[in-house]
C-alpha cells in the first residue's frame, strides 16, 4: 500500500477533556446523501477513544507547508496534554472541535458507525459542517513512506 499515494489529514477529537489529534492518511468519501466520510484509526489512538466516548470529531486536509505538523502529530507517545499547543487551530462552528488553520478543507463529523477491522477501527462520520477556504496551495501527500506535495 506504500505505492498508493494518499492525502494527509489531521483527525481531532477530545479525550478526557483534552484536544487530541492524529495524522491520518486513511480517509475516504463514503456517501453524498447523507454526506459521510470514513477514517481508519489504530485501536489504541486517543483520538479514537474520544470518538468512541461520543465526542464530535474533525478532519483537516493538510497543505504541503504543514509537513512538520503532520510529522509531529504522527509521532507515537506524544503527551496527552497540550497536543495542539504548537498547532495553529480554531474551533469548529457546529461541534466545537479543533480544526487546523490553513487546512485545504476541514470537516466536522458526528459518528454514524464504527466497525472493528484488525488492529484498526473504521469510523464513518456524518459531516455536519464543511469549511473550504479559497486557496491554491499544493496538497500534502504520502507516498512510499515519504511526505511530498501535489499541485
Domain boundaries of the chain, sorted by first residue? 6-150
31/73 Cα distance (integer angstroms): 28
Long-range CB contacts (within 8 A, 24+) of 22-27: 22/46, 22/47, 22/73, 22/74, 23/70, 23/71, 23/73, 23/74, 24/59, 25/142, 26/120, 27/59
- Determine the pLDDT at residue 55: 84
The pLDDT of residue 125 is above 90: yes
Half-sphere exposure of residue 103: CA atoms within 13 angstroms, side-chain side: 27
- pTM for this one? 0.95
CATH topology of domain 6-150: Pnp Oxidase; Chain A (2.30.110)
The pLDDT of residue 75 is above 90: no
Mean pLDDT of the chain: 94
Percent of the chain, pLDDT > 70?
Answer: 100
8/22 Cα distance (integer angstroms): 10
- Determine the pLDDT at residue 2: 85
Cell 512510499, residue located:
144
The pLDDT of residue 77 is above 90: no
Amino acid at each position: 500500500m506504500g505505492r498508493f499515494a494518499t492525502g494527509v489529514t489531521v483527525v481531532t477529537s477530545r479525550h478526557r477533556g483534552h484536544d487530541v489529534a492524529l495524522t491520518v492518511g486513511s480517509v475516504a468519501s463514503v456517501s453524498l446523501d447523507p454526506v459521510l466520510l470514513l477514517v481508519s484509526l489504530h485501536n489504541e489512538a486517543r483520538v479514537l477513544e474520544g470518538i468512541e466516548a461520543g465526542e464530535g470529531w474533525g478532519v483537516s486536509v493538510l497543505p504541503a507547508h504543514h509537513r512538520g505538523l503532520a510529522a509531529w502529530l504522527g509521532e507515537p507517545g506524544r503527551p496527552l496534554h497540550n497536543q495542539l499547543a504548537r498547532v495553529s487551530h480554531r474551533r469548529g462552528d457546529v461541534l466545537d472541535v479543533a480544526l487546523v488553520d490553513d487546512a485545504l478543507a476541514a470537516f466536522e463529523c458526528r459518528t454514524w458507525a464504527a466497525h472493528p477491522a484488525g488492529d484498526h477501527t473504521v469510523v464513518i462520520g456524518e459531516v455536519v459542517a464543511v469549511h473550504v477556504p479559497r486557496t491554491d496551495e499544493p496538497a500534502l501527500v504520502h507516498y512510499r513512506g515519504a511526505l511530498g506535495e501535489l499541485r
